[in-house]
Amino acid sequence: MDVGNNGVVILADRHRARSCGMYMHGGVRYPGRAMATTEGFEEFYTGAVGRLLGQLLLVTGDLHEAEEVVQEAFARAAVRWAWLRDYDVPEAWVRRVAMNLAADRARGLRRQARAVLRLGSPPAVPSVSVETLALVQALRTLPVRQRQAIVLHYLVDLPVEEVVRILALRGGTVKSLLAHGRRSLAVRLGEPEEVFDRT
């Protein structure tokens, strides 16, 4: 096993010549040589990317998605360039990879759509009061642990012992978080601290 350029690991294949072994990039094994040089790749990319992007835009119907699959296909071509550059038409290889990626994404989206349809219509979202919005804004100003303790104890109505278990903190720590959170919220909401005090 040898380490090539950019940390690419070359794995010898006893059934092939050394220069045509396997190589590993990003934890994935690829047939062919590790990319010793990128000579010609930039020119290839510049000449082909516009055509492929136009073709994949027509397939996906979405420019962002087309850009993503084309870039991924070129990224895969880059790590295989040492042998891919010898193809008669390397663009055809990149096109096939991009088309496969687009098809995979489309299948994934169909599966997601079927799953969402099985869930049915989302429940109606109740209107939010001015007081609730003010509380949400005030809670955002608290450190996350204080926010968690306040929400669990005062809004979810859990006893302190249950908050201790959920947050995996000591009882004294939770009580301190609740006290500090109460004081901060009272100041921000203009309410007396006693409004929150029921520990």
Write the DSSP symbol of residue 123.
P
Indicate the fold that domain 130-195 takes in CATH.
Arc Repressor Mutant, subunit A (1.10.10)
In the chain, what percentage of residues exceed pLDDT 90? 37
Task: Quote the tokens at residue 112.
Answer: 């997601």
Evaluate if residue 54 carries a pLDDT over 60: yes
Task: Quote the tokens at residue 46.
Answer: 């510049």
Distance of CA 1 to the CA centre of its chain: 33
Per the rule left: phi > 0, alpha: psi between -120 and 50, beta: everything else, 121 is beta
Evaluate if residue 21 carries a pLDDT over 50: no
**Domain boundaries along the sequence of the chain:** 37-119, 130-195
Letter string b/e over residues 98-120, b meaning 16 or more CB atoms within 10 A of that residue's CB: bbebbeeeeeeeeeeeeeeeeee
pLDDT in tens, 131-170: 888 888 888 888 888 888 988 898 888 899 999 998 899 9
Write the DSSP symbol of residue 86.
T
Q: Is 65 in a helix, a strand, or coil?
A: helix
Better pLDDT: 123 or 24 = 123
Contact between residue 60 and residue 102 where contact means Cβ atoms under 8 Å apart: yes
pLDDT on residue 1: 35
Task: Quote the tokens at residue 184.
Answer: 């901060």
Better pLDDT: 21 or 189 = 189
Q: How confident is the model at residue 179 (pLDDT cuts 50, 70, 90)?
A: very high
Instruction: Give me the helices (H) in the chain, please.
Output: 41-60, 63-79, 81-84, 90-119, 130-140, 144-150, 160-167, 171-189
pLDDT on residue 70: 96
In 3-state terms the chain splits into helix, strand, coil percentages (rounded to 5) of 65, 5, 30
Task: Quote the tokens at residue 165.
Answer: 């278990």
